Structure 1
Amino acid sequence: MLHLGNPGRRINIGLIAMTFVLSIFAGRLIQLQGLDSKVYTAEAAEQRVRDEKLTARRGSITDVNGHELALTVEAREIFVDPAEVDPRERDQVATVLATELNQPKEQIAAKLGNSGSRYQQVAAAVDPSVAQRIMERIAKQKLSGVGSKPRYRRDYPGGDLAGTLLGFVGDDGTGLSGLENTYNKLLAGRDGEQVIETGREGQHIPMTRSTLQAPVEGRDVRLTIDRDVQWAAQKAITDQVGATGARTGSVIVIDVPTGQVVAMANAPELDLRAWEKTAPEDWVNRSVTDVFEPGSTNKVITAAAALESGAVRPETVFRVPDNIRCADRVLRDSHPHPVERLTFSGVVATSSNVGTILASQRVGDQRLHEMLQRFGFGAKPGSGLLGEEAGLLPDWKKWSGSQRCTIAYGQGVSVTALQTASVYQTIANGGTRVTPQAVAGTTTEKGVFVPSAPGKRTRVVSERTAREVTGMLEAAVSEEGTGSLAAIEGYRVAGKTGTAMRYDPKCQGYCGYTSTFVGFAPADKPRLVVLAVVQDPHKGYYGGEIAAPVFKKVMTFALKSKKIPPTGTTPSSVRIRAGE
């Protein structure tokens, strides 16, 4: 006979079991909503709340006329979330990205396979049209895990125009060289921040908390550089470096009254759109970093010291052989010649080493050293450009027997191209040096242009000395001088050649030459200084042959570009040799 269980007992047991289970749920609920509520609330908020950096737009760098040399353009970052990409679709996604971004497919596939990551950058800054095309293809093929977000990209319309002067920025937008580095803080502005709550798919949840700190846009930097003159200078020096098989070259153009740099070109120049492919040693601005012995361009300082001291006059006659003994060395002129009776003007015009030494002996070591210092040797020019060097000026008390002679004609001291150009700006400006400037001014956060303070003015020599040296330099560009190839039809030109033995650390001695020409025009009313220097040419080496033609091309273009007319005057006759 079948006996059924006690229904009341079963119900009691069931109630007890239900009570036990419910008590567990209640305890857990108390733990979640009571004891540990703050912990879980924080974790939930961490999952929902997203902190986004709002990148400030970097300011522009323009030339003196407002033409943009460096600017910021809209771009897009392309990224992937490997966890959102279906493993079966990885190959399709990699194919789309590799094709559109021109990247190795294997490299992208490796990022897609990093399943432990939720974010992998594929491209830092691509054109918005490329990003749009990628996202359209991804959507059309119903793929997932690929995203795009706004970014900025630095662009240099001129490519290598003033490349080492401008410099470039890294992937994070920080200036790494040139003016991009020097003025990085001003150009970069200040990034903002936005905090929002997002859903599972990353969408913004309406009506939730959101805070915004707007970015402060970067400010602009306006240079003294003239884009057109810069282009002409860069082309001229690049062509000559190539034609002569030289290592490097530089051209500087300076506005005489203000000391402002109108052009600063180097060859080879840095292509700012492909700087990663260039060796770091070629990122520097050679016009301010490379030091060299100036050679005969330095004779103007010796001439200024001799005239300023009253030791000689332009018409003072020297009996000049083609060699002279200095301590244990015999020093020579550039070519053999019989003993000549040259005026001091003739000594400078014909670039006689021996005649220059004879004049310097009347000046004395200390006074010559003081004049070199007054012209800026041994000190940075003060332009503020990155990597600016001071060169080398030994203490006169430590000059060797031969240095007492060689320094007079530019061997035994070291300078930069900018220092040399500044010397001639001083002579052209009536003996007053103006600290060279490359930055015309900057804008405020409201976009108002604020000009830079004028360059410091320093009286170096008297107006009379500057005028007499100018006459000598004008004679140097005459048919009897060493710089005749620098003459410009219709204009009065003053200038000086320089041919110096070149010290090279690689051969641990003097190997090759430095060829230089520097001058100004119009000679009787100077407006522009142009310096051309070519390092280690292999097809000729005299400054009058190698550098003077570069000077002529650049100066001719600059005079026309700046609409500087000839003065229409005739230079005074300068007596080169006694008895003429």
Structure 2
Amino acid sequence: MVLRLGNPRRRLKFGMIVMTFILSIFAGRLIQMQGLDTKFYEGVAAGQRMITETIPAKRGSIADVNGNPLATSVEAREVAIDPSKVHPDVRVKVANALAAELGKPLQEITTKLSRTHTQYQLLAKDVDPAVATRLVKAGIPALTTKKQYRRVYLAGDLAGTLVGFVGTDGTGLGGLEESRNSVLAGKDGKLRVEQGRFGQRIPMTHSQRQPPVDGSDIRLTIDRDLQWAAQKSIAEQVKAVGAESGTVIVMDVKTAQIVAMANAPELDLDNWRNAPAADYVNRAAADVFEPGSTNKVITAAAALERGVVRPTTTFRVKDNIRCYDRTLRDAEPHPTETMTFQEAIAKSSNVATIMAARKVGSQGLHDMLKAFGFGAKPGGGVPGEEAGLLPDYKSWSGSQSCTIAYGQGVSVTALQTASVYQTIANGGVRIAPQMVAGTTGPDGRFVPAPPGKQTRVVSDRTAKEITAMLESAVSEEGTGGLAAIPGYRVAGKTGTANRYDPKLGRYQGYTASFVGFAPADAPQLVVLSVLQNPQKGHFGGQLAAPVFKQVMTFAIKSRKIPPTSSTASPVRLSAGQ
């Protein structure tokens, strides 16, 4: 057998062809990548190197009417570390240093440093910049700091529920912080930079920066000093009488600006997370209750406006009156007596008020209640404001047509009640309550808030006649004598109402209140005080009137309101006098 060998020249030629083919494929791919698809791969590489960082916007501040800050934002740092780059030999030393500077438990820091399978561990937020700088200078490996802002409440619980608070992400969660979040928050900026494999920024590379837009500052109508006085007075009285809660509102008569809005208990903004949820509520605007006798001015307004009674109209008043299937009574038993309508309001007679309301009719009374703002939100942008409850007069029961005349069977908020007396004090013109004086944008320009909407509710004559009645209520013959302020003419009204407890589903306890204004002949301020479910007494004239007197006296001195030279006209309280 003869073995025939292949032609080596042919094998070599075939091999060269195969090799050339393979190399041409590689060459073509290289030409495609480096020539035709250069832009594409450059973009992919840049995208892998490029990161986007958020530049936080500074949240706007909240200040009182004089610019005293109640809430503001200060610069802080977020501190993080890459545990995989902390050598085991120095881990204990690093943990001790971090725990000491950050004020964190050593075990917490040690646990985070032990997670070496991760490249990021957040150590702390809201760190003082000086502390963060010390840590960086200490040379702690793989430590990073990031700029942020920390919310600070400089006044603690002053107007706490009104101001509100922010969550860990800086978003408002209560009060003005929540309701005006879009104004306060601003808009975060962005920074796009290139970084290397280990997170270091590559110098001299392209970057894109979109600057942040800081939030606007809000200036309130609240006066810090009056707010403090109101909170102190209501808190002390709530404690003294064992009440469940209390509220004080101070309102400017001519502008309806809210000068103070105090609640007790009040929310401490430095420790809001530890407070019960009930303390997050702005009770002055959100709590709904039956007003009681403070509501009699609306019945009086309806009767006077329709001309069915005058202040001197007399009634023969027993201490009880039959109203369909119920017998309704005055607060105190008394023999049948002749009262002028003015005396009936001064002595807070339920029976005489019902007699006047019958002359008005249910529809007329309902229309006047609605005109004063009942059944609708006040509209001043107060956080948590509620509309209360005003049933349609067509659905009133027989007895309800009587009880609503003296403030039972209709529900309101403290803010709505204060607004009623602002209307009377302002000559019958209601102004929508206001609590924001204006805003200051990032450009530093202050923009005042537009004035509240004005609506005439009753005539100037009716308002003056009711004012005279309310002065009588603060006289020795009236129920509000404890609200009198020496040297000043004061007009006001007591309120004592059965309190509906939604938890029990029935009436339990009382609501005691007093609301009035001064000076009566040249009104400047309205003050309302409300106590819910007091345990030591329950009459508004005994419990709430002293709070009114304290707060109004402080406000008069603070605003340097002089006594008026005029004296109240002699008032005919009883028939035959």
TM-score by length of 2: 0.92
Residue 472 of structure 2: aligned partner? 475
Residue 433 of structure 2: aligned partner? 436
Which aligned pairs between 1:153-192 and structure 2 lie closer than 5 A?
153-192=150-189
Distance 1:170 1:114, change over 3 A: same
Q: Which residue of the other structure, out of 427, 430, 448, is the alignment partner of 2:424?
A: 427
Per-residue deviation, 1:544: 0.8
CA distance in 2, matches of 1:130, 1:333: 68
Per-residue deviation, 1:369: 0.6
The answer to whether the aligner puts 1:372 opposite 2:373 as a matched pair is no
Residue 292 of structure 1: aligned partner? 289
CA distance in 1, matches of 2:188, 2:331: 61
Residue 52 of structure 1: aligned partner? 53
Per-residue deviation, 1:117: 3.0
For 1:249, the aligned partner's letter is G
For 2:254, the aligned partner's letter is P
Per-residue deviation, 1:41: 4.7
For 1:145, the aligned partner's letter is A
More displaced, 350-359 or 413-422?
Answer: 350-359
More displaced, 332-341 or 115-124?
Answer: 115-124
Task: Report if the CA contact (8 A) 1:249-1:535 is conserved.
Answer: yes
Which aligned pairs between 1:136-285 and structure 2 lie closer than 5 A?
136=137, 138-139=138-139, 143-200=140-197, 202-285=199-282
Which aligned pairs between 1:16-35 and structure 2 lie closer than 5 A?
none
Per-residue deviation, 1:437: 0.5
Residue 99 of structure 2: aligned partner? 98
More displaced, 507-516 or 320-329?
Answer: 320-329
Structure 1 runs (4+) deviating above 6 angstroms are 26-32, 34-40
The answer to whether the aligner puts 1:351 opposite 2:348 as a matched pair is yes
Superimposed CA distance per residue, residues 214-246 of structure 1 (whole angstroms, 9 cap, x where no aligned partner): 111111111111111111111111111111111
Per-residue deviation, 1:517: 0.5
Task: Report if the CA contact (8 A) 1:353-1:409 is conserved.
Answer: yes
Per-residue deviation, 1:165: 0.8
Residue 391 of structure 2: aligned partner? 394
CA distance in 2, matches of 1:537, 1:135: 57
Give the percent of matched residue pairs that are identical in Structure 1 and Structure 2. 64
Per-residue deviation, 1:356: 0.9
Residue 326 of structure 1: aligned partner? 323
Superimposed CA distance per residue, residues 158-181 of structure 1 (whole angstroms, 9 cap, x where no aligned partner): 011111111111111111111111
Superimposed CA distance per residue, residues 183-203 of structure 1 (whole angstroms, 9 cap, x where no aligned partner): 211211111111112345544
CA distance in 2, matches of 1:244, 1:90: 59
Per-residue deviation, 1:464: 0.5
CA distance in 2, matches of 1:113, 1:31: 47
Superimposed CA distance per residue, residues 286-341 of structure 1 (whole angstroms, 9 cap, x where no aligned partner): 11111000000000001111111111110111111111121221111111111121
> Where in structure 2 are there 5+ consecutive unaligned residues?
1-11
CA distance in 2, matches of 1:163, 1:519: 25
Any idea what SS the aligned residue of 1:171 has?
A: coil
Which aligned pairs between 1:11-90 and structure 2 lie closer than 5 A?
41=42, 44-90=45-91
More displaced, 89-98 or 245-254?
Answer: 89-98
For 2:409, the aligned partner's letter is G
For 2:133, the aligned partner's letter is Q
CA distance in 2, matches of 1:342, 1:116: 88
CA distance in 2, matches of 1:185, 1:510: 41
Residue 7 of structure 1: aligned partner? none
Task: Report if the CA contact (8 A) 1:124-1:171 is conserved.
Answer: no
Per-residue deviation, 1:386: 2.6
CA distance in 1, matches of 2:375, 2:564: 36
Per-residue deviation, 1:147: 2.3
Any idea what SS the aligned residue of 2:270 has?
A: coil
Any idea what SS the aligned residue of 2:285 has?
A: helix
Residue 132 of structure 2: aligned partner? 131
CA distance in 2, matches of 1:329, 1:108: 71
The answer to whether the aligner puts 1:542 opposite 2:543 as a matched pair is no
Superimposed CA distance per residue, residues 381-413 of structure 1 (whole angstroms, 9 cap, x where no aligned partner): 111223211000111111111111110000000
Task: Report if the CA contact (8 A) 2:320-2:327 is conserved.
Answer: yes
Task: Report if the CA contact (8 A) 1:255-1:528 is conserved.
Answer: yes
CA distance in 1, matches of 2:50, 2:23: 34
For 2:417, the aligned partner's letter is T
CA distance in 1, matches of 2:481, 2:233: 18
Per-residue deviation, 1:104: 3.2
Task: Report if the CA contact (8 A) 2:56-2:147 is conserved.
Answer: no
TM-score by length of 1: 0.91
Residue 302 of structure 2: aligned partner? 305
CA distance in 1, matches of 2:523, 2:553: 14
Task: Report if the CA contact (8 A) 1:74-1:153 is conserved.
Answer: yes
Residue 405 of structure 2: aligned partner? 408
Superimposed CA distance per residue, residues 405-439 of structure 1 (whole angstroms, 9 cap, x where no aligned partner): 11000000000000000000000000000000001
Residue 484 of structure 1: aligned partner? 481
Any idea what SS the aligned residue of 1:274 has?
A: helix
Per-residue deviation, 1:443: 2.1
CA distance in 2, matches of 1:487, 1:351: 17
CA distance in 1, matches of 2:113, 2:105: 13
Per-residue deviation, 1:467: 0.2
CA distance in 2, matches of 1:302, 1:468: 13
Per-residue deviation, 1:77: 1.0
Q: How many correspondences in the alignment?
A: 559
CA distance in 2, matches of 1:165, 1:319: 47
For 1:114, the aligned partner's letter is R
For 2:375, the aligned partner's letter is G
Per-residue deviation, 1:551: 0.7
CA distance in 2, matches of 1:279, 1:133: 38
Residue 8 of structure 1: aligned partner? none
Any idea what SS the aligned residue of 2:269 has?
A: coil
Task: Report if the CA contact (8 A) 1:299-1:410 is conserved.
Answer: yes
Per-residue deviation, 1:273: 1.5
CA distance in 2, matches of 1:39, 1:85: 37
Per-residue deviation, 1:76: 1.0
Any idea what SS the aligned residue of 1:72 has?
A: strand
More displaced, 224-233 or 84-93?
Answer: 84-93
Residue 458 of structure 2: aligned partner? 461
Task: Report if the CA contact (8 A) 1:78-1:121 is conserved.
Answer: yes
Q: Which residue of the other structure, out of 297, 316, 336, is the alignment partner of 1:339?
A: 336
More displaced, 230-239 or 86-95?
Answer: 86-95
Root-mean-square deviation (CA), in Å?
Answer: 2.4
